[in-house]
Amino acid sequence: QFQLDEPWDSPANKKLIAKMPPLYRSAASKHEVAEGKTNYLLPTGEGALFAGREGPKLTGVKDGTSNTLLVVEVADNAAVVWTKPEDLTYDAKRPAAGLGGLRKEGFNAAMADGSVRFLPLPQPDDQLRALFSPSGGEPVK
């Protein structure tokens, strides 16, 4: 139903926002599914797995796919409309920005190997940077 040859917010595509599949919304979210906002985002930007316009290659994940974040659960205030081409902009100076807030002690994350983990917050910034980085050589504890 999504018109790929039109902008995400064209009149035809806007009709689909309210039809967001419920699994795109965290069970801990206060948003209504009808708002069409997803809590599951790709970390993008310098230092993250999705750092450029092209998708990553698994062979470039030198730190190991089980040690690299692929998708993170974000707070409601960082959630985006599920059809909008927007994700979580990773900031190495503030690696926890947007994370947490839905659950008392941390957030859910999918790793690049497909596994899902609950990651505690707060945790040291250097540890979070190591999880975001696909090939920085930092130890992950």
Q: What is the structure's pLDDT at 33?
A: 58
d(CA 133, CA 141): 14
Measure CA 32 to chain center.
Answer: 19
Cα angle: 8, vertex 76, 117; to 5 degrees: 100
Please give the average pLDDT of every successive group of 10 residues along the chain, which has 141 residues.
Answer: 94 93 91 82 93 81 92 94 94 94 93 96 94 86 72
